[in-house]
Amino acid sequence: MKSSDIIIRETKQNDFDDIMTVERRAFGSEDEAELTKNLMADSTSKPILSLLAFDKHKAIGHILFTVATFKDQKGSPPFYILAPLAVIPEYQRMGIGGMLIKEGLRILKKNKAELVFVLGHITYYPKYGFIGNAAKFNLPAPYLIPDKVADAWMVQELVPGSIQKYNGQIACCKAMEKEEYWRE
Ligand SMILES: CC(C)(COP(=O)(O)OP(=O)(O)OC[C@H]1O[C@@H](n2cnc3c(N)ncnc32)[C@H](O)[C@@H]1OP(=O)(O)O)[C@@H](O)C(=O)NCCC(=O)NCCS
């Protein structure tokens, strides 16, 4: 695989089967495919950003960003949550995940998003600009993240100063409102 062969683009209606295949294969289970399907159908997750990576015509990776808001506050500023990120096994550790994250952040920035959150691997996401323990910056997760994994709830500002500018508990879309999704 040459990285110049990789194309990343926003998904369309008829990409649904490719998205489900990538999610199933990356995670080796139905759970994330089901979550992705629910997130994409959820009216409270919009506007979403959904990107597929292709090697020639083969779908090999998918990333989804859904809208986040402040809990109990109307008129939220533009925040997003990254979840899930999936790369099929035979293409893992080749930089595809990183390419999807970077392209997603580029588009969100262009669309004036200010903060992006992720709950994930603390050795992985900081490579792409995320900072651990967003609760420390008074931006706690929708559900309580135990102290010993507090670093897994991460934030990245796309507009300088946004981490300092905002305070409050983050609320996710309805399809992500299940405590089991918030255990790291
Ligand atoms: C995690 C995942 C998305 C990473 O994508 P990727 O394309 O394989 O990763 P990249 O090639 O961009 O990044 C590679 C780097 O991240 C590290 N890395 C990859 N997967 C990792 C993981 N699960 N945990 C920690 N580090 C990981 C690699 O060691 C590598 O670091 P190096 O370059 O210093 O060796 C992919 O492996 C995957 O789909 N895994 C299964 C599903 C999953 O766990 N998704 C994330 C949770 S939402």
Collapsed DSSP state (helix, strand, coil) of residue 82:
strand
Whether residue 104 is predicted with pLDDT greater than 80 in this model: the reply is: yes
Mean pLDDT, residues 8-13 taken together: 97
Shortest-distance Cα residue to atom 32 of ligand 1: 93
| Ligand 1 atom showing the smallest separation from residue 82 Cα | 48
Q: Which of 23, 30, 66, 93 to mutate to test the pocket of ligand 1 (most atoms within 8 A of CB)?
A: 93
Mean pLDDT, residues 83-92 taken together: 98
Q: What is the pLDDT of residues 47-60, one digit of tens each?
A: 999 999 999 999 99
The residue behind tokens 């008074």 is 138
Indicate if ligand 1 lies below 6 Å from the C-beta of 170.
no
Range of the domain at 147: 3-178
Ligand 1 centroid vs 92 CA: distance in angstroms? Answer: 7
Indicate if ligand 1 lies below 6 Å from the C-beta of 33.
no
Q: Is there a domain that residue 173 lies in? A: yes
Q: Is there a domain that residue 184 lies in? A: no
Q: Is there a domain that residue 28 lies in? A: yes
Collapsed DSSP state (helix, strand, coil) of residue 14:
helix
CATH value at residue 64: 3.40.630.30
pLDDT given at position 57: 92
Q: How confident is the model at residue 2 (pLDDT cuts 50, 70, 90)?
A: confident
Q: What is the pLDDT of residues 58-81, one digit of tens each?
A: 999 999 999 999 998 776 788 999
Q: What is the DSSP string of 137-175?
A: GT---SSPPPGGGGGGEEEEESSTTHHHH--S-EE--GG
Indicate if ligand 1 lies below 6 Å from the C-beta of 70.
no
| Ligand 1 atom showing the smallest separation from residue 32 Cα | 48
Mean pLDDT, all residues of the chain: 95
- Tell me how many domains the chain contains: 1
Whether residue 39 is predicted with pLDDT greater than 90 in this model: the reply is: yes
pLDDT given at position 130: 98
Q: Is there a domain that residue 119 lies in? A: yes
91: tokens are 């293409």
